[in-house]
Chains A and B, each alone.
Chain A
Amino acid sequence: MPINKLPRGVAIVGAGMSKFGAFPDKNGRDLFVEAYKEMTRSVDKGLDPSAIECFYLGNFSSDLFERQGHTAPLLADAVGLTPIPAARVENACASGATALRQGVIAIASGLYDVVLVGGAEKMTNLPTADVTDTLATAADVPFEIAAGFTFPGFYAAIATAYMARYGMKPEHLMNVAIKNHDNGALNPKAQFGVTIQKWMEGRVAAALKKGKPAPAWSDIWDFLHDDSANPMVAWPLRLFDCSPITDGASAVLLVAEERVREFTDHPIRILGSAQASDAALHDRADLTSLPAAKLAASRAYEMAGVTPKDIRIAEVHDCFTIAEVVASEDIDFFAPGEGFKAAEDGMTAREGAKPINTSGGLKSKGHPVGASGVAQAVEVWKQMRVEAGERQVPGDVPLAMTHNVGATGSTCVVHIYERRD
């Protein structure tokens, strides 16, 4: 299949997100307003909202999470954007990046110059069992969920296959959780903005406060191996291998290349935008890689005319720790079977050669499913413009990538970004 170039340049000129977390007093609309307002403030030369021509929203299941459908015009109205066209895009946990890609296509086609892309998900209204059931609808329900599988279970089966092939141990996955919590601790928007060390110390302090004996963990490794502190969810994945249930929203503003200077002198250009689909997990020839991710990444590289070596940082879809390891190989940062070693060696840390998930990733920042893909773009926007504060990676970030996955890889969307002042 020939690789299509974008027929017209597209750049991000503004980006924002709400705080991620559990907010009993806020619905999806409130969170989106928060993200939209931050986005408007980030536009260097100011934003006249009447310039926005179209709105795409990434949202997985407001219907089941909030009993509210038809979400896009509601959110457009909440930020005063009606009557512009508004459309909701649903591709499970890849809804956000799919919406972003629709915005890119809308501008590249020549139809619009200024497009708002948002992501929103309000998940914590429901009890955990109902959240699990709602997320399960992203799988092949009669043939996968009826067997008693869960999403942690799918990724656990991926981990089992990966361990058998490459000799990885469950302990290796803990490196990913530790690193992402280290990054998230420096992200004021993160749901769990604490290192695992601090988390452990907090548990000890809480026990002492209640007059209970302090748990005797010698270090975070001891803590992560303790079934009471880090319970098994789906062997070999434990609680700290899983991203949380989160409320949150995110927004970016896309503008056609020839109009970028009206908004900013520091745009982030979208060089590559690719997406691929796949069947359910039981229709794969191999479980140690997501074929749709590999395909989307290779197409994005080809469209952008760059190689994995050129990419300075990536935000990848770490819904589970094993997912980050597999992603780091699927985007060709590391060879198959090398991703877990790279994580162990610190190569994916902020100071490493290939920083991954400087935001804290879905693991620590949180995973409001429809918002996550757009929030990845918010993080690369901040890193590329040197606005990431304490978690800023050293040196320049001329090129970055985002990798957003739906379900077990039935959808994968990859974008490549370039800073061009």
Chain B
Amino acid sequence: MEIARHWRLKQQRYGLVGEVCPHCDVKIFPPRDVCPECGGEAKTLYTFSGKGEVYSYTTIYEAPAGYDETAPYTVALVKLEEGPLVTAQLTDVDEESVQIGMPVEMVTRKLRQDGDERGMLVYGYKFRKST
């Protein structure tokens, strides 16, 4: 992967950095430079608060390579308070207690065990239960 793209992905992964549309103020994640709402150019970086709630979820029992050591684990679509949905793993949580609407906040954690060998990102955002 070229350095610039890697750096950008890292920023998005570590800090949950997306974009805000200068035309209609919609917050965008994952970033894509063209506003999905108004179609205008949207390159202004925006750091999300990392707060949101569980929109839907599942517990993965059959995990892909690189994730199997921690299976079963719970993954979710998290609705950020600024609007967008983000796909992420839940952490430090009892899977039985997860439900739609549960408030969560972002933390940085190890994503996968075999990241270095495969050249994949190893660390990134996960979400934990908040109060």
Chain A residues close to B by CB (< 8 Å):
129-130, 132-133, 136, 140, 142-150, 152-153, 156-161, 164, 231-237, 279-284, 287
Q: Once bound together, how far apart are the Cα atoms of A403 and B67, in whole Å?
A: 33
Contact, CB under 8 Å: B89 / A148: yes
Interface bin, chain B: 20 to 34
- Check if B75 sits within 8 Å of A149, measured CB to CB: yes
In the complex, which residues of chain B have a beta carbon less than 8 angstroms from the beta carbon of A235?
A: 58-59, 61, 95
- Is B64 interfacial (CB 8 A cutoff)? yes
| Count of A-B contacts judged by CB separation below 8 Å | 105
Q: Please state if A153 and B58 are interface contacts (CB–CB under 8 Å).
A: yes
Knowing A161-B55, A164-B100, A282-B85, the reply to whether A146 touches B77 (Cβ < 8 A) is no
Give chain A residues whose Cβ lies under 8 Å from the Cβ of B120. 146
Q: Which residues of B contact A145 (CB under 8 A)?
A: 64
Whether B58 lies near A147 (C-beta < 8 A) is: no
Q: Does B60 contact A (CB under 8 A)?
A: yes
Give the A-binding residues of B (Cβ under 8 A): 9, 13, 30, 36, 55-65, 67, 72-73, 75-77, 84-89, 95, 100, 111-112, 120-121, 124
In the complex the two chains form, what is the Cα distance from A156 to B62 in whole Å?
Answer: 12
List chain A residues, Cβ under 8 A from B30: 140, 142-143, 282
Q: How far is the CB of A244 from chain B (nearest CB, A)?
A: 13
Is A157 a contact of B56 with CB atoms below 8 Å? Answer: yes
Taking a contact as CB atoms under 8 Å apart, the answer to whether A287 and B56 are in contact is yes
Contact A160 B58 (CB under 8 A): yes
CB distance from B58 to the nearest CB of A (A): 4
Bound Cα distance from A287 to B57, whole angstroms: 11
Nearest-CB residue, chain A, relative to B9: A142
Verify B61–A129 contact, CB threshold 8 A.
Answer: no
The reply to whether A282 and B61 form a contact with Cβ atoms under 8 Å apart is: no
Nearest to A160 among chain B residues (CB) is B56
13 contacts between A and B (CB under 8 A): A129-B64, A142-B121, A143-B30, A144-B87, A148-B60, A148-B75, A148-B89, A150-B64, A156-B58, A160-B57, A161-B55, A231-B61, A234-B61
- Kindly list chain B residues whose C-beta atoms are within 8 Å of the C-beta of A233: 61-62
Q: How many Å lie between the Cα of A65 and that of B48 in the bound state?
A: 39
Which of chain A's residues have a CB closer than 8 A to the CB of B64? 129, 132-133, 136, 145, 148, 150
CA distance A279 to B29 in the complex (A): 12
Q: Which residues of B contact A279 (CB under 8 A)?
A: 36
Instruction: Report how far A281 CA is from B95 CA in the complex, Å.
Output: 22
Q: Please state if B124 and A148 are interface contacts (CB–CB under 8 Å).
A: no
9 smallest beta-carbon distances between A and B, as pairs: A156-B58, A161-B56, A282-B85, A235-B59, A157-B56, A143-B30, A232-B61, A129-B65, A148-B67
> Are A149 and B62 in contact, with the CB atoms below 8 A?
no
B15, chain A: closest CB distance, angstroms = 14
Whether the pair A147, B111 counts as a contact (CB closer than 8 A) is: yes
A159 to B89, CA, bound (A): 18
Specify which of A132, A147, A152, A237 is in contact with B89 (CB 8 Å cutoff).
A147
